[in-house]
Amino acid sequence: MNLPRVLRRLSGACLLSIALSGAVASAASTGERPMRIVSLNMCTDELVLRLADPSRIASVTWLSQDPRNANMAEAARHIPANHGLAEEVMGFRPDLVVAGAYTTRATVSLLGRVGVDVREFGVPRNLAEMKAQIGEMAKLLGEPARGEALVDGIEQRLQALAARRVEPPLRAIVLRPSGFTVGRGSLVDEILTRAGLVNIAAELGVESYGQIALETVVLGRAEVLILNETPDGPPSLAHEILQHPVIERLGDRLKLVALPSRLWTCAGPSVLDAIELLVRAVDEKR
């Protein structure tokens, strides 16, 4: 007997039974605002928590309750958590489920098969797409005014930060564990540009995410090295590299910036905090 296959069939049958019993109601089908929203992705969690009243949020992911990784942990800890399982979601009797385009794929598929209203959101590649996604989410949640206010606030902060930029821009590179960096065609690339930095990885033709050799920091004439953790945090490959003789020889020429990954993992208002932090680092370097 193929036990995994049997379990999948039983799970699907159970979900179908619940759906047919009237547990699933789509807010979109009635034209009403969703009142039992379930989010299955940390980034959709953040937008839902920013845009909807807590009383309308049935569940967010457990990841959003961890302040080390999430920007809305304080708000999220008051909301029931889920682990992305279809059975959990159905138990919340949602009238809207929001999910990421690349996460919880099996659950999204199952929910769609039993008629649950599931809306998927991709990963914005720049600030324009980020603002458009906020507007899309706000409209879906029945909160267009809140969405407009959030986008207006972002635009005002961007203008204020742009006024602080100085020329010529400093040369920078992002270093993540295992030598990964972020190149062009990514939100992080625009974050660096908005902060008054030249992204060396983008210059070298790195598309989105890629690996670099340590020598690139030197040969690329890097002036700012951006780490996605704090220097006094737990050990990581990204920080071990700081002990390398090549880095030590650069001395004061290289400015090290610790940028918490939660500020730029998800596309939302916290991205502006990342830009602000980098702008301050540029000011200190000069």
Alpha helices in the chain, H assignment, sequence order: 3-18, 27-30, 42-51, 73-76, 86-91, 105-113, 127-140, 144-162, 187-194, 200-203, 215-219, 237-240, 245-250, 262-265, 270-285
Going along the chain from its start, the domains and CATH numbers come out as 16-122 (3.40.50.1980), 166-285 (3.40.50.1980)
Mean pLDDT for the chain? Answer: 85
Between 214 and 173, residue with greater pLDDT: 173
44-71 pLDDT, tens digit each = 999 999 999 999 999 999 999 999 899 9
pLDDT tens digits along 175-232: 887 778 999 989 999 999 999 999 999 998 888 888 887 777 777 888 999 987 654 5
Least confident piece of the model among 6-10, 124-128, 179-183, 192-196: 6-10
| Position with higher pLDDT, 45 vs 163 | 45
Residues 14 and 20: their CA atoms lie apart, in Å, by 10
132-152 residue pLDDT tens: 999 999 999 999 999 999 999
DSSP string, 168-202: SPEEEEEEBGGGEEE-BSSHHHHHHHHTTEEEHHH
Summarize the confidence of residues 238-256 as an average pLDDT.
68
Prediction pTM value: 0.84
